[in-house]
Amino acid sequence: MAERKGYADIAAEYRQKIADGEMSPGDPVPTVNELAQAYGVARNTAARVFNLLKSEGLIVTRAGAGTVVASPPVVISGTDRLERMSRNGLRYGPGEDSTGHRVMRRSVIDAEVCQALDLEPGEEVVIRIRTFRQDGKPTSVGVSIYPPRTVAEVPELADQGRMEQYWGDLYTERTGRAVVTGTRTAHARQASQDELNALEIDAPQHVAVAVLVTNVTFHDEDGPIGHWEDVYAPGEKVPMKPA
């Protein structure tokens, strides 16, 4: 006999469906009675599912429409997008898009990037930048940086415009080496003027604007092969995975 699911398990299923875009903003959510019947649980268990999803801002009750999926309350990171793509192939969620794609070759001088990619200051890297938007509003700036050995295997990284295929898949296909995602870390810092422009934030030059930044480094068996940074607009909420 299958084990009966608890309210947290059921909520996790709906949380995943919403995150993956299987349920879009405005889509109806089953009623408490329908949910209880579908999962074979007590009505108060189904009600706890509703309360949890509402407290997380994932669903909302509207007059005349019942309970529906809410507009996205959080902005996901680049690594979260990769996980979504691996599950259902969707690059973007409902209402999500990216603009302002830029690709450049630069000599790296940032000490943190040099350490993350195990490079000497002055070595050339490829930098890819884009602005992610939700319903037309800029929510984050994504920056990805690749060392020479990665670009040698995936030269498409240096081409202008969006890549049609995930670079990690191409890298593995061509080298036979798996791409491993490192631990994502977060910190706050002052936004640069370029970041403010990309996020369409009009702030006086003498005013410091704090932003949340997340970083992650990708590796293969020989060392680091890519470094990503996501810069989030002030006020945006970012989901954090449990330790």
Which whole number is the average pLDDT over 7-19? 88
pTM of the model: 0.81
Domain stops at, among 69, 103, 122: 69
Give the single-character DSSP code of 164.
S
Q: Are residues 148 and 203 in the same domain?
A: yes
The CATH number that applies at residue 89 is 3.40.1410.10
Question: In one letter, which amino acid is 51?
Answer: N
Q: Are residues 130 and 214 in the same domain?
A: yes
Q: Are residues 18 and 111 in the same domain?
A: no
pLDDT at 195: 95
Q: Are residues 64 and 83 in the same domain?
A: no
> Contact, 59 vs 67, CB < 8 A?
yes
pLDDT at 3: 61
> Contact, 93 vs 110, CB < 8 A?
no
Print burial letters for 39-76: b (CB count within 10 Å at least 16), e (below 16).
bebeeebbebbbebbeebebbbeeeeeebbbbebebbb
Q: Work out the pLDDT band at 176, boundaries 50, 70, 90.
A: very high
pLDDT tens, residue by residue, 135-168: 899 999 999 999 999 999 999 999 999 898 899 9
pLDDT tens, residue by residue, 205-236: 788 999 999 999 999 999 999 999 999 999 88
**Count of domains forming the chain:** 2
Which whole number is the average pLDDT over 156-185? 94
Please report the sign of the dihedral spanned by the C-alpha atoms of residue 229, residue 92, residue 103, residue 226: positive
Domain stops at, among 69, 88, 115: 69
- Strand, coil or helix: what is 84? helix
pLDDT tens, residue by residue, 47-59: 999 999 998 888 9
How far is residue 145's CA from residue 227's CA, in Å, rounded to a whole number?
A: 5
Q: Are residues 174 and 86 in the same domain?
A: yes
Q: Are residues 54 and 87 in the same domain?
A: no
- Strand, coil or helix: what is 231? strand
> Contact, 59 vs 68, CB < 8 A?
yes
Which whole number is the average pLDDT over 20-47? 90
241 part of a folded domain: no
> What percent of the chain shows pLDDT beyond 90?
65
